[in-house]
Amino acid sequence: MEADAELAPLAFDGGGEAVGERRRRELGLYAELLRHRSDQAYAPRPTATTPSEPQVVSASHWGAAPTRLALPARGPLDHLVLHHTAFATSGIGGTSFEAEAAHMREIQRWHFERGWATVGYHFVVSPSGRIFHGRPVDRLGAHVLGHNLGTVGISLMGHFDLERPTPAALASLAHVRRRLVPGGAKAWLLGHRDHRGHETSACPGRNLGAYADKRGGPPPGGPPAERRADP
């Protein structure tokens, strides 16, 4: 019921004030209070902000040189392989885009010197959490000899026998994994040294290897047949 319907007929109290006027004022204040409470009740409540997604940097954006060889197809995804670059992050020169992009160009240069077509990994994650594209994700990698068919190589910048991955880098690693394996499908994330023939490798370092899945050895049935040289 609206406040006006509750107003009493005009009268005066002993002090000479119109009783109806005072009642009108009181009801007006009461109605204003109700409106204020209603506004509070229906005002949108602040929602928890979701963390911003990591920056994904294309090969052209970080200044990659052209791929030197044609790359064969990777084949259907079987599992992901976790690596480290084995170069301490203190040598990168900071976490600015310019410093991390320059380090990506260094990685590509080192892989060219090995005779590879381009960066051996499909993704490289920096300490700041940036995700740098290496070779195209649907092309055969050059990151775990004898096990490149059906695998995607993800490397974190750093030497993880000597240091620990940053929270930002680990969050971006999880992001890459979710995007590569959508809908909750299961694909194993194995360390480089978890593959047959690579057991003596230190990669991805003891402080990063703890984040790889443990399933007691290489993929079931052993590695798919492939040539024994990395492209």
pLDDT tens column, 118-160: 999 999 999 999 999 999 999 999 888 777 888 899 999 999 8
Contact 153, 161 (CB under 8 A): no
Contact 96, 70 (CB under 8 A): no
Q: Domain segments of the chain: what residues?
A: 3-42, 56-209
Flag whether the pTM goes above 0.85: no
pLDDT tens column, 42-99: 344 444 434 578 999 999 999 999 999 999 999 888 878 888 888 888 889 899 999 9
Most confident of 131-135, 175-179, 212-216: 131-135
Distances from the Cα of 138 to the Cαs of 71, 74, 102, 211, in angstroms? 9, 5, 25, 24
Tell which CATH architecture fits domain 56-209.
Answer: 3-Layer(aba) Sandwich (3.40)
- Spell out a b/e string for 151-171, using b for 16 or more CB atoms within 10 Å of the CB, else e: bbbbbbbbbbbebebbebbbe
Q: What is the model's pLDDT at position 78?
A: 80
